[in-house]
Amino acid sequence: MSDELKFKYEVEIKSVEKRQMLSKEVKEELKSSGMMDEKGKLKIKGVSPKMLKRMKQEFVDCPVLKKDIQFIPCFVCPNFQSRVTGKVLCKGDSLN
């Protein structure tokens, strides 16, 4: 059996100058999964504060939702496989 990740899309990560605000739904999901504290500060295990700051300025053109979404919601999406040199590997399964 191969250890290769199964993905359908390779999505380019784009960047914007200013930090994007996360929606309430995304914040709730991050809090429930332990990636955000009660004050709304992101705490993703193994991700440095510098990287988190960069992630807040990034977005992807989501092939599943067919629209631009911020990188953080993409990162916590069940379709997220991996981040490799400026790209996201996405399973491409439909989200219900």
Give the single-character DSSP code of 93: -
Q: Is residue 57 part of a domain?
A: yes
Residue 42 lies in domain:
9-90
Q: Is residue 28 part of a domain?
A: yes
How does pLDDT run along the chain (96 residues), one tens digit per residue? 445 778 999 999 999 888 788 889 889 988 998 999 989 888 888 889 899 889 999 999 999 999 999 999 999 899 999 999 899 999 999 987
Question: What whole-number distance in Å separates Cα of residue 79 and Cα of residue 85?
Answer: 18
Q: Is residue 3 part of a domain?
A: no
Structure tokens at 17: 């100058």
Going by C-alpha positions, the residue among 70, 69, 76 that lies closest to residue 35 is 76
Q: For position 3, what pLDDT does the model report? A: 59
Domain count, the chain: 1
Q: What angle do CA 31, 23, 15 make, to 5 degrees?
A: 105
User: For the purposes of burial, counting CB atoms within 10 Å of the CB of 65, is it exposed (0-12), middle (13-18) or buried (19 or more)?
Assistant: middle
Q: Is residue 4 part of a domain?
A: no
The pTM score is 0.83
